Structure 1
Amino acid sequence: MNRIAQGLVLVLLGAAALSSTVVSDLYLNYVQAYFRPFLAASGAVLVLLGVWVVVAEVRAAARTHGDHGPIPSEDDAHDHCNAPGVSWLLLAPVVAVFVIAPPALGSFTASQSSSPEPTAPRADSDDSGRYDDALAETDPATPAKLELQEFVLRAWTDEEREMAGRPIELTGFVVPNEQGEGWYLARLQMACCAADAVVNRVLITNTEAPEKDSWWTVRGTWVEPEGELQSVRDHRFSVDTMTEVDNPPDPYE
């Protein structure tokens, strides 16, 4: 790989970063939204650096020929201009973005990932900000729109059981339950990037499982556990109505 090729690779890498952040929302499949300005800035720097490398190399070649200096041998050019062959692997991210465009994590990851177990606040702590206000601000007769993360947190830690008997609306994708009855409505939660994603899910047993990885908005009620929960897999939801929806631009919570 000579210097001009190196510069072009940098341009392609920068263009991949820019196309995923400025032109589209593809970056949301891999990282949190707050990374957008950093990725866009990195892409711009890579493009400018690549262009500078190409222009500098072309000008250097033009000066050499203009001065009628000695033309370097192939061995000299190889020693001074070429990078190791392994550097071509830098094109892999470009191919992944422009050709493959890997989708967001889905049912396979959700079935393999661990589920976080929310920790109840200490008795002496101020827990007034533990939840969003969606449940409190919604009329008891109207379905409250909750994220699966909040639903799981409430099911674990809300000693007042405010969700009991309340109509609730959840949105997520379908994960088959390979180990038993029913299916899971799930949503992946990530702190930074897709590599640290964990799953929030509820088990649904009163309806047939839709197609795997399809997205649905379900309305129904929380099935209160009869005894103490042993794991987050025990959360159950009774569905009254279901509506298939398009994949959201940001699939993570």
Structure 2
Amino acid sequence: MNRIAQGMVMVLLGAAALSVTVTSQLYLNYVQAGFRPFLIAAGVVLVVLGVATVVVDLRAARGDADEEPAGHDHGHGHDHARGPGVSWLMLLPVVAVFVIAPPALGAYTASTADPAALADDAAPLDDLGAGVPDGEPVEMRMQEFVMRAWTDQDRKMAEWDVRLTGFAVPNPEGEGWYLARLQMSCCAADAIVNRVLIENEPEPPKDSWWTVQGRWLAPEGDIQEIRDHRFEIEEITSVENPPDPYE
């Protein structure tokens, strides 16, 4: 790979980073929203460096051509400008973004991963339903619901109508199905699953998105020993995939 090709690869890499952050929200399939400014900055830097590399090498080649005497042997002269052939592997991320465009993690990950562990900073229950009109369901993130369920030793949350949104995941053990959301700290590689087990509603298509309203079926015994909390649906509505597939 010569210097001009190296510059073009950098331009393509920068363009790929900018295309998934500036013109779309595809980057949310891989990293948290907070990384957007850094991805944009990296894309701009790569494009600028790539263009500069191409321009400098073209000028150098033009200068060498102007100074080259007649009859000069063209069999050598620019071998130093070449990089290792493995450099072409840098094109793989470009192909992945523009051709393959891997989707966000979904039902397969949620069905094979262990549920999220209990967080030390799980939200207190005192503010549950604050500001919600009487008779209205409490809108909760899946992560918040699961964390509260693991800390609600008095089963207070079982008295509340709750609304959750997530995607459908088959239960490998065959009993009911899961409504799940994935949670990531940095990127898709560290994603963990938050999910509830639903047994009173027919299983919808895998990876389809739903908003459900119902109640937590409080378990008996040690609540923190529960692997999957059960949720009884009263209403279910299909929804389009949210802009950010992760919580």
TM range (shorter): over 0.9
- TM-score, normalised via structure 1 length: 0.91
Deviation at 1:65, TM superposition (A): 1.4
Matched AA of 1:95: V
Q: Which residue of 2 aligns with 1:118?
A: 118
Residue 48 (1) aligns with residue 48 (2): yes
Q: Which residue of 2 aligns with 1:88?
A: 88
Q: Which residue of 2 aligns with 1:235?
A: 229
Deviation at 1:160, TM superposition (A): 4.2
Q: 1:231 to 1:88 in 2, by over 3 A?
A: farther
Distance in 2 (CA, whole Å) between partners of 1:60 and 1:47 is 20
- TM-score, normalised via structure 2 length: 0.93
Q: Which residue of 1 aligns with 2:64?
A: 64
Residue 7 (1) aligns with residue 1 (2): no
Count of aligned positions: 246
Residue 157 (1) aligns with residue 151 (2): yes
Deviation at 1:38, TM superposition (A): 0.3
Distance in 2 (CA, whole Å) between partners of 1:208 and 1:152 is 22
8 Å Cα contact 1:131-1:150 kept in structure 2: no
Distance in 1 (CA, whole Å) between partners of 2:143 and 2:126 is 11
Moved more, 151-160 or 241-250: 151-160
Moved more, 211-220 or 112-121: 112-121
Residue 168 (1) aligns with residue 162 (2): yes
User: Which of 219, 230, 243 pairs up with 1:249?
Assistant: 243
Q: 1:141 to 1:9 in 2, by over 3 A?
A: same
User: Which of 128, 134, 142 pairs up with 1:148?
Assistant: 142
Q: Secondary structure at the match of 1:22?
A: coil
Distance in 2 (CA, whole Å) between partners of 1:82 and 1:4 is 9
Q: Which residue of 1 aligns with 2:133?
A: 139
Q: Which residue of 2 aligns with 1:100?
A: 100
Distance in 2 (CA, whole Å) between partners of 1:74 and 1:185 is 66
Q: Secondary structure at the match of 1:175?
A: strand
Q: Which residue of 2 aligns with 1:180?
A: 174
Q: 1:185 to 1:72 in 2, by over 3 A?
A: farther
Q: Which residue of 2 aligns with 1:189?
A: 183
Matched AA of 1:12: L
Q: Secondary structure at the match of 1:53?
A: helix
Distance in 1 (CA, whole Å) between partners of 2:49 and 2:190 is 31
Distance in 2 (CA, whole Å) between partners of 1:37 and 1:43 is 10
Deviation at 1:229, TM superposition (A): 3.5
> Percent identity at matched positions?
60
Q: 1:72 to 1:22 in 2, by over 3 A?
A: farther
Q: 1:5 to 1:221 in 2, by over 3 A?
A: same
Deviation at 1:161, TM superposition (A): 3.0
Q: 1:23 to 1:119 in 2, by over 3 A?
A: closer
Matched AA of 1:143: P
Distance in 2 (CA, whole Å) between partners of 1:132 and 1:32 is 29
Cα RMSD for the two superposed structures: 2.0
